[in-house]
């Protein structure tokens, strides 16, 4: 019985190792069969907020971002990215005695899941739709104390992309899930809502 149990345990151990090896090989083959596209990009953004602070109003101004992403997949794809950029907002007091523009700069890490309507084969035009989530890490502020703002903030987004030859344009709208500020006793902006436009190149690998 002891010898039989030994060989049975050995068999189970070998089978587990083989299953792990087969799973690893399957994942590796699947990854190698995917198409990777590197997408460096620059863009602009306009941010709005869910609340106007007491005693005034806020208006979104033109912001910017630069970075890139990597899309992998065929009809369906996953696209993580990293961008550095800034958002600009104008504050106007209710009695028109005080106006100022403040900026928030930081690193944005989006991850999108999308669908290529026309695939990724060589062609003139492709249209994509996508959804995803992002983390935004604040690095600096142009007015006030950085510690008064929430970092990281989290958001969800949806968008539309168009590929033309080696170029692409992405239109994206993002809703923040967290308040912009930690300290809201005197100045409460609520949650951000941001429209992004990115222009860039597609570099298939």
* pLDDT tens digit sequence for 97-148: 556 677 889 999 999 999 998 755 556 889 999 999 999 999 998 877 788 7
Give the per-residue SS3 of 39-93. Answer: EEEEEEEEEEECCCCCCEEEEEEEEEEEEEEEEEECCEEEEEEEEEEEEEEEEEE
| 57 and 13 in a common domain | no
Report pLDDT for 21. 59
Q: Is the pLDDT of residue 170 over 60?
A: yes
pLDDT bucket at 78, cuts 50 / 70 / 90: very high
Is 142 in the same domain as 41?
yes
Average pLDDT score, the chain: 80
Same domain, 79 and 173: yes
Higher pLDDT, 16 or 76: 76
For the domain that residue 61 is a member of, what is the CATH number? 2.40.160.20
Domains: count for the chain: 2
Within this chain, do residues 84 and 28 fall inside the same structural domain, yes or no? Answer: no
- Say whether both 29 and 40 belong to one domain: no
pLDDT above 60: residue 29: no
* 158 CB neighbour count, 10 Å cutoff: 14
Specify whether 80 is located in the same domain as 5.
no
- Is 62's pLDDT higher than 80? yes
> Within this chain, do residues 25 and 51 fall inside the same structural domain, yes or no?
no
- Residue 85: alpha-carbon gap to chain centroid: 13
| Three-class secondary structure of residue 73 per DSSP | strand
pTM: 0.77
Residue 55 — left, alpha, or beta (φ > 0 → left; ψ -120 to 50 → alpha)? left
Range of the domain at 23: 1-33
């Amino acid at each position: 019985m002891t010898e039989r149990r030994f060989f049975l345990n050995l068999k189970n151990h070998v089978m587990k190792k083989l299953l792990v090896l087969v799973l690893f090989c399957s994942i590796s083959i699947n990854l190698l069969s995917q198409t990777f596209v590197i997408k460096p990009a620059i863009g602009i953004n306009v941010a709005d907020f869910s609340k106007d602070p007491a005693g005034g109003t806020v208006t979104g101004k033109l912001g910017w971002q630069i970075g890139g992403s990597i899309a992998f997949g065929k009809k369906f794809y996953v696209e993580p990215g990293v961008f550095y950029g800034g958002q600009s907002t104008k504050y106007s007091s209710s009695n028109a005695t005080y106006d100022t523009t403040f900026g928030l700069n930081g690193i944005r890490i989006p991850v999108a899941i999308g669908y290529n309507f026309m695939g990724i084969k060589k062609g003139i035009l492709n249209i994509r739709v996508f959804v995803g989530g992002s983390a935004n890490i604040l690095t600096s502020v142009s007015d006030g104390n950085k510690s008064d703002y929430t970092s990281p903030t989290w958001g969800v987004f949806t968008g539309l992309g168009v590929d033309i030859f080696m170029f692409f344009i992405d239109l994206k709208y993002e809703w923040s899930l967290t308040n912009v500020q930690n300290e809201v006793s005197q100045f409460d902006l609520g949650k951000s809502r941001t429209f992004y436009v990115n222009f860039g190149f597609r570099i298939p690998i």
